[in-house]
């Protein structure tokens, strides 16, 4: 299943004109089936919206404003760090937010759409042929767009993404964000914080189960290790014994090649995906290799007059108590 997910993911992010050159025969054989499923999915979307318009499906209103943090493509768009950013901001302001992940029929007062700057729309096709959960026209329902990982691409790329967004909704406020590394936690001692410089000139194996592994690896490289290797698993992957064996094999090969013991670096989401109670049990099997957890926080980047303060003002206009609704992939 993991292998199939990777094959489909590569199809989704390969432009049609490059398929024959870059995709395997197996992947090419999957395209007609994926295309049919994508077409059926595309027919179902407007029917569902029509049901809401006719009153056959209902959206439930809560007595407090609801902020929806969503995306148009599957995984890797920064929804989780954005929810954390919002929760911390509201808590610091004396407001206790309620965070929901499944209650899709809620009426939303504010729709925040997250876009991954590194891979914004893939091949522009609907799932499963492409990564789009909805066509770009769905941006008409958005109140705010945040282009995430904006510091990892060029200004030209940002302008191109913003241009596509404004073709759909010209007045849409667009903000930029980054995921700033803060420190490491030791997997064996979660109360121990390590400075980011700890991995400078070391050997690192990045192990991830997130939607955008490239951004994670690029940020680790910027911290100055001597060499960075990677093992990428699909978003929300639940690690099994065979995965741990794969990681241990890669670690042995790295140690043999470079004559130094590698560190394993994972993201905070690794813990969330495996559940906090299970994670130490999984990670202990990687002994004697040290496992470090990269802790990061979302930051709004100043860009063309839009700042963190103006982002917060956009939200504050809707009320002073919030339910935060994170759409699930």
Does residue 278 register a pLDDT over 80? Answer: no
Tell me the β-bridge partners of 113.
70, 145
- Residue 170, exposed/middle/buried by CB under 10 A (0-12, 13-18, 19+)? exposed
The mean of the pLDDT values for the chain is 89
Same-domain pairing of 45 and 70 = no
Strand 189-194, strand 227-232: pairing: unpaired
Which one, of 99, 101, 132, 128, lies nearest residue 115 by Cα?
Answer: 132
Q: What is the CATH number of the domain that holds 229?
A: 3.40.50
Residues in the chain: 329
Q: Report helix, strand or coil for 314.
A: helix
Same-domain pairing of 135 and 216 = no
CA dihedral sign, ordered 61, 95, 144, 103: negative
Same-domain pairing of 175 and 317 = yes
Same-domain pairing of 185 and 170 = no
- The model's pLDDT over 128-158, given as tens digits with 9 standing for 90+, comes to 999 999 999 999 999 999 999 999 999 999 9
At 231, is the pLDDT very low, low, confident or very high (cuts 50, 70, 90)?
very high
Residue 135 placed within a domain? yes
- The model's pLDDT over 82-131, given as tens digits with 9 standing for 90+, comes to 999 999 998 898 888 888 876 867 888 899 999 999 999 999 999 999 99
Which one, of 184, 198, 211, lies nearest residue 293 by Cα?
Answer: 184
Same-domain pairing of 135 and 199 = no
Write down the pLDDT at residue 109: 87
Residue 312 placed within a domain? yes
Same-domain pairing of 189 and 274 = yes
Tokens of 67: 């902020």
Do residues 123 and 13 touch, judged by C-beta distance below 8 A?
Answer: yes
Same-domain pairing of 76 and 152 = yes
Same-domain pairing of 126 and 271 = no
Residue 307 placed within a domain? yes
Domain enclosing residue 10, as ranges: 2-54
Residue 276 placed within a domain? yes
Same-domain pairing of 166 and 305 = yes
Residue 60 placed within a domain? no
Same-domain pairing of 171 and 89 = yes
**What is the total count of domains within the chain?**
3
- The model's pLDDT over 49-94, given as tens digits with 9 standing for 90+, comes to 888 877 778 888 888 888 999 999 987 899 989 999 999 998 898 8
Quote the strand ranges of 142-202, DSSP E. Answer: 144-148, 174-186, 189-194
Does residue 255 register a pLDDT over 70? Answer: yes
Residue 319 placed within a domain? yes
């Amino acid at each position: 299943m993991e292998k199939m997910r990777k094959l489909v993911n590569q199809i989704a992010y390969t432009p049609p004109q490059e398929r024959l050159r870059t995709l395997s025969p197996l992947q090419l054989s999957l395209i007609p089936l994926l295309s049919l499923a994508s077409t059926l999915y595309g027919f179902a979307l407007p029917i569902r919206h029509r049901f809401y318009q006719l009153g056959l499906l209902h959206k439930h209103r809560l007595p407090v404003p609801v902020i929806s943090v969503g995306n148009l493509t599957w995984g890797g768009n920064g929804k989780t760090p954005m929810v954390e950013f919002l929760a911390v901001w509201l808590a610091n302001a004396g407001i206790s937010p309620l965070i929901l992940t499944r209650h899709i029929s809620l009426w939303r007062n504010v729709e925040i759409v997250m876009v991954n700057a590194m891979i914004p729309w893939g091949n522009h096709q609907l799932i499963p042929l492409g990564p789009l959960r909805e066509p770009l026209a769905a941006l008409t329902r958005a109140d705010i767009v945040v282009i995430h990982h904006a510091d990892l691409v060029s200004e030209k790329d940002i302008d191109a993404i913003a241009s596509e967004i404004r073709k759909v909704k010209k007045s849409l406020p667009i903000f930029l964000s980054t995921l700033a590394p803060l420190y490491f936690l030791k997997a064996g001692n979660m109360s121990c914080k390590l400075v980011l410089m700890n991995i400078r000139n070391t050997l690192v194996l990045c192990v991830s189960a997130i939607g955008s592994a490239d951004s994670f690896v690029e940020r680790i490289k910027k911290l100055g290790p001597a060499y960075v290797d990677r093992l990428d698993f699909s978003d929300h992957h639940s690690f099994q014994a065979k995965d741990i064996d794969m990681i241990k094999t890669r670690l042995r090969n790295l140690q043999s090649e470079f004559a130094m013991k590698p560190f394993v670096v994972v993201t905070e989401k690794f813990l969330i995906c495996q559940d906090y109670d299970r994670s130490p049990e999984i990670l202990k099997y990687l002994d004697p290799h040290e496992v470090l957890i990269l802790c990061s926080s979302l930051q709004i980047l100043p860009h063309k007059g839009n700042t963190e303060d103006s982002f917060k003002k956009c939200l504050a206009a809707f009320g002073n108590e919030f339910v935060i609704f994170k759409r699930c992939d």
